[in-house]
Amino acid sequence: MKPAEKTAGIIFLFFFAVVIAFPVNADPLNGDEPVHAEELFPDDDPGEESLSDEEPVYDEVLFSDDEFPPDEDLFPEEESLDEEPLFEEYLFEEDPLPEKERFPGENSLIFEAPPLIFEVPLFIHEPRSFDDIFPDLSFDQKIAAFSEEGLRYFFEKDGDPVLLPDPDSGIDLLSSVMEKDPSHIIEALAVVPYNEREFDMLDIFNAMGRIGNIRDYTLPVNDRVFIIFMESSRIESARIRKDIPDPPPADELPHSETMFLRFKDATLGNLYMRADISMSLYGITYTMTNFASVRYFLFPLMRSERFVTIIYLEPVTEGVLVYSLCGFYIPGFIAGRVNLTPNINRRISVLINWITGGLRIQE
């Protein structure tokens, strides 16, 4: 071969090598890292080792930190309830939107009305009948209950009561009396028939508020008129035993009331009672307990909190039901010598007559 032709061939091979190698080793247009041929044309056999000891460049270029956030930003954890308010909090924020945005439109039908106030009676129900409350009484017992004297029974601690209301009536005086651990118990039941008009619970409450009238009621004993309570009045409190007048009749029923009373007994002297009045759905419960000892002259007969009288009153269809239980404790050596049951029974009769008389005054 001629020298000129040999030289031209060498030059041609040189340019051919440059053209072939240029796409692989050329600088990137935007100043990025060079892309290697083995990355553009990967080997089909995954078992062969990579020709380069370095990590693939596309991990750095295609998924750089500047273009994609880290994993915790792509999949954020659940936000804490303390950091962001719940949807309900936006609903109940104070004035979350301006007035015009909350109530758009000048012709809106939204307006502010004054509040409506209704006066509803405290107790709304149909009155019950006497038989609804005491369904197990005999005919003779019912006749006696509607008489002026009513029914009276007494028994000792181990005895059984006779006048028990229906368990579904909601009236349970016996359990409250037995909490005082009495030695003797007296039952009483009466119905005050309606005359000119029916009585409601406010009438009953006002009738029981006339404490000063108790001294006006007497009992016949051995063909004589016997005064049981010579004086009766309210006092300020258990410590301040100064007489105070009865208040005027109430215009509405309280939910409860406590007052302190003084009775001057013809035999036992001053008796000091605490009276608790409570309202229920159908009636009024009047509980009297001695907060001071009962004495006969200087001899103590009964300690404080050992005498209790509970009177339940309810307007029924036939009249006003008066149901009472009285429990008191007398030591055995006294009960064996003095029969106090008839004396206590007379005092219970005075209280019931006082209530029924106070109702009839209001007719």
Task: Tell me the residue ranges of DSSP E strands in 222-335.
Answer: 224-227, 229-235, 243-244, 256-265, 269-279, 284-290, 294-296, 299-302, 307-315, 319-328
pLDDT, mean of residues 38-64:
46
CA distance 210 to 286: 13
Instruction: Give dist(CA 25, CA 63) in Å, integer.
Output: 23
Q: Which residue has the higher pLDDT, 197 or 81?
A: 197
Domain boundaries, the chain: 130-361
pLDDT confidence of residue 3: 53
* Higher per-residue pLDDT: 337 or 121: 337
Instruction: Quote the pLDDT of residue 352.
Output: 87
Task: Give Cα separations from 77 to 73, 133, 201 (angstroms).
Answer: 9, 67, 66
Does the pLDDT value for residue 21 go beyond 50? no
Q: Is the pLDDT of residue 287 over 50?
A: yes
Least confident window among 25-34, 177-186, 211-220 = 25-34
How far apart, in whole angstroms, are the C-alpha atoms of residue 53 and residue 77?
37
**Residues 184 and 339 sit within 8 Å (Cβ to Cβ):** no
- Assess whether pLDDT exceeds 60 at residue 28: no
pLDDT band at 342; cut points 50, 70, 90: confident
Report percent pLDDT > 90 for the chain.
41
Considering the four listed CATH numbers 3.40.50.150, 3.90.170.10, 3.30.530.20, 3.40.190.80, the one that applies to the domain covering 130-361 is: 3.30.530.20
Which residue, 219, 221, 145, is CA-closest to 188?
A: 145
Q: Select from 170, 194, 199 the least CA-distant residue to 285.
A: 170
Q: What is the DSSP string of 183-218?
A: SEEEEEEEEEE-SSS---HHHHHHHHT-GGGGGG-E
**pLDDT value of position 129:** 95
pLDDT, residue 31, reads: 46
pLDDT band at 143 (very low <50, low <70, confident <90, very high): very high
Q: Is the per-residue pLDDT at 67 higher than 90?
A: no
Q: What is the pLDDT of residues 215-269, one digit of tens each?
A: 999 888 788 888 899 999 999 999 999 999 999 999 999 989 999 999 999 888 8
* Residue 20 predicted with pLDDT over 80: no
Closest CA to 329 of 153, 152, 187, 185: 185
Please, which pLDDT band fits residue 59 given cuts at 50, 70 and 90?
very low
Which is higher by pLDDT, 358 or 264? 264
pLDDT at 120 over 70: no
pLDDT value of residue 101: 43
Sheet of strand 319-328: strand arrangement: 151-156, 184-193, 319-328, 307-315, 284-290, 269-279, 256-265, 229-235, 243-244
What pLDDT does residue 311 have? 96
Model confidence at 10, in pLDDT bands (50, 70, 90)?
low
Residue range 328-344: mean pLDDT, rounded: 79
Which pLDDT does position 363 carry in this prediction? 58
Taking CA 291 as the corner, what is the angle to CA 286 and CA 295, rounded to the nearest 5 degrees? 115
Q: Which residues share a beta bridge with 260? A: 235, 274
Q: What is the mean pLDDT of the chain?
A: 75
Confidence of residue 135 (pLDDT cuts 50, 70, 90): very high
pLDDT in tens, 315-326: 999 999 999 999
- The band of 333, judged by pLDDT with boundaries at 50, 70 and 90, is confident
Query: 93 pLDDT exceeds 50?
Result: no
pLDDT at residue 52, rounded to an integer: 46
pLDDT, residue 70, reads: 52
Instruction: Using the predicted structure, report yes or no on whether residue 297 has a pLDDT greater than 90.
Output: no
